[in-house]
Every structure is written in structure tokens, then in C-alpha cells.
Amino acid sequence: MSDPLSPTNLEQMIRRTVEQAVREAIAEQIPSIRAYAAEQVKRSSPLAKARKKAGINQADLAESTGLSQSSISRIEAGQLSVSLDQVRTLATAIAGSGRLRGVGPDDLARAIWLVHGDDQDDSFDFLDAELGPVK
């Protein structure tokens, strides 16, 4: 039987202890990391920015688009992707408020799609074909 206090055994014990401590520290931080990531997505959401700038709350946007308020919230948080038709509907509702000067529905749809699109094809060629080229 080997000596439990041999340098090799002590090194293995220390390594296991450190690895376990690191795993536990990471596990404790995962919820806050996820919350931080969700907040960053929300802050960078062109949908949320445009909606807020237009003075529209999620409930009103949901009512005018036929989506649920929880869907709007999940889209803005990056938890739900949207189809191009949904993007157009959202962009038209927000741009139609008249409170976003110089931003048309196609430009807004393009910005929303690039962040929140369902990834069926997020290339600029696809967007140009669907929304027309950038002016």
C-alpha cells in the first residue's frame, strides 16, 4: 500500500480539491452569468430599442401584432427566434407609430432580423431579396 502522504498522493489530493473548488465556484456563478447574458441580449435588442424609442410597451406591441406579450419579451431576451413575416409585422407596427423619424419598416425589419431571425438564411442576399437592397 502506498504512503497517503507521499508527494504524489498529496499532489493528487490537492489537484482534486482544487478541481472540485473550481467546479463549485463555476456552478455558483452560472445563474448570474446566464442572467447577465440575457440582460446584454436585451440591451442590444434592436426590437426592444425601437419599441422603447417609439414609446410602445410590450403589451401594446403584442396587441397590434397578434403575438403574445410573453413572446415579445422572449424575442427581446433572445430566447425566441422569429420568422421574416413576424419581423415585418413587428417592424411595421413599430415604424407605423410615427415616432421613429427616418426609420422605415424595411430598415427596422433588417435590424431586427439580423439579431432575432430564425436563422433560416440570415445572409444579406436573402434580406436584399426579401426586403430590397439597403438604400
Q: Is the pLDDT of residue 122 over 50?
A: no
Residue 125 has pLDDT above 70, yes or no: no
CATH fold label, 46-135? 434 Repressor (Amino-terminal Domain) (1.10.260)
Averaged pLDDT, 44-56:
85
Counting residues of the chain whose pLDDT is more than 90, the rounded percentage is: 13
**Type of residue found at 55:** G
pTM of the shown model: 0.57
What's the pLDDT score for residue 70?
95
Contact assessment for residue 89 and residue 66, using Cβ atoms and an 8 Å cutoff: yes
Q: Where are the alpha helices (DSSP H) in the chain?
A: 7-44, 46-53, 58-65, 69-76, 84-95, 105-116, 124-131
The residue ranges of every structural domain in the chain are 1-44, 46-135
pLDDT greater at residue 41 or residue 55: 55
